[in-house]
Amino acid sequence: MLSILVILSLVIFFVTLAFKLGPAYLGFWTVKSVMDNVAEQSTPITGGAREIANQIGKRLDINNVGQVSAKDFKIRRAGENLYDVTLDYEQRQHLFFNIDTVLTFAYQVQVKGQ
């Protein structure tokens, strides 16, 4: 009987983790796909870093991403007609009682500019 309670409590714990942490990871995967879509555009982006940030911001709005905004992206010139777009952020998530988690996410792509 005790082993059933231990197994049941472990299952409940991991299901709680999945429900609490899952949305943060889904949000990051959405942000990652937005960055990949901007990087894989067939036409180079005119307007430099500001236009890259605008396009990322619009796509984040369309996908209803609330974890990050266009201001959280670091856009640096990597060479002639190339920009490094980097996102590095933390997200805190309350689990239960006084236990919280800190999730760190980082991703980088290169975007063609003009």
pLDDT in tens, the chain (114 residues): 889 999 999 999 999 999 999 999 999 999 999 999 999 987 888 888 899 999 999 999 999 998 999 999 999 998 888 999 999 999 999 998 999 999 999 999 999 987
pTM of this structure: 0.85
Give the residues across from 45 on adjacent strands.
Answer: 113
Asked whether the beta carbons of 55 and 43 are under 8 A apart, the reply is no
